[in-house]
Chain A
Amino acid sequence: SQQGEEDPQALSIQEGENATMNCSYKTSINNLQWYRQNSGRGLVHLILIRSNEREKHSGRLRVTLDTSKKSSSLLITASRAADTASYFCARNYGGATNKLIFGTGTLLAVQP
């Protein structure tokens, strides 16, 4: 499968703590994207990191990409109750279609 793995499947932390989610993939990617999904809603794009980039920041979010290990991580610093959601990584393998393949996600619960 081209999807690879995401871990953990679920994560529960206290407000103010940091949350780290990991995503792996199996073949070379064009880019990797992270999305958030609140319960019953559509997905919202967070960050896109290209294969030639190693780290990107957006507010309290930090994404790293290690192409040698075929893995990426999303770090949310100083978490808030409003960060409670499912987080998905999506792999763009390029090629003729550039389709985006989503993993199974990490369910993050931030306790107030």
Chain B
Amino acid sequence: EAGVAQSPRYKIIEKRQSVAFWCNPISGHATLYWYQQILGQGPKLLIQFQNNGVVDDSQLPKDRFSAERLKGVDSTLKIQPAKLEDSAVYLCASSPHYTGELFFGEGSRLTVL
């Protein structure tokens, strides 16, 4: 079974530029998550989708971050404009069950200069 795919793995941008991350969850997984992990910290939930509907986006900085999940499968996370403090690893995860274990991708490491 293929795992959660994320791209790009690494991205370096200047502040105020924009960036987009892509995630392809495990086939059949209805729930998809985006987490932000700053160096030395635990993952922080940004947004949670159930199929293509948003379940929770309470910690998503909506003035600069946006996310969508088209047709309940792939998802993209966009940051525009980026700030220095957005430097982090952006982790995508999916789950077959609403309350079950999460399967994570390898993450997309963003450096904002």
Tell me the A residues contacting B by CB distance below 8 Å: 30-31, 33, 35, 41-45, 48, 88, 90, 92, 94, 96-105
Say yes or no: B100 contacts A97, CB within 8 Å: no
Q: Binding site of A, secondary structure by majority: helix, strand, loop or mixed?
A: strand
Give the B interface residue count (CB, 8 A): 23
Say yes or no: A48 contacts B104, CB within 8 Å: no
Chain A residue nearest to B43 (CB atoms) is: A102
B101 CB contact (under 8 Å) in A30, A33, A88, A105: A33
Task: Output the least CB separation between B42 and chain A (Å).
Answer: 4
Task: Output the least CB separation between A112 and chain B (Å).
Answer: 25
B48 CB contact (under 8 Å) in A42, A97, A103: A97
Say yes or no: A48 contacts B48, CB within 8 Å: no
Task: Output the least CB separation between A60 and chain B (Å).
Answer: 19
